[in-house]
Amino acid sequence: MPNSFTNAQQVCTTSATTVYTCPSTNTAGTVDAAVVLMIQAANVTNRADVLTVLWTSAGNSNSIVRLCYQVPVPAQASIGCLTGKLVLLPGDTIKAQCGTHQAIELTVAALETA
């Protein structure tokens, strides 16, 4: 199976909301893993807000690891939320939440591999 690039987006709320889930299959076939290449957050309001991004590991009893925790995002600015790359296995998720409902928009780019 060829590798397949994908992306996901989510307007964040004050509750942790799933932005991306590594699938077990996609349109190209079976997926063994997804390499998250980038997570970017954009504050679309006129005031600073905070962002938390979570990784939930399906293969580890749905344990949760914070990739960033209440990181300030300046008004009308963008920040990168991931340094390096992150490997997700099928069922693993990326979730996000912000301090103010719909203040931050999150984008995830990933490479799904066989």
| Domain 4-113, CATH | 2.60.120.340
**pLDDT above 80 for 78:** yes
* 30 vs 26: CA distance, rounded Å: 6
Token pair of 60, please?
A: 């580890």
* 38 vs 81: CA distance, rounded Å: 8
What global pTM score does this model have?
0.92
What is the average pLDDT across 4-24? Answer: 96
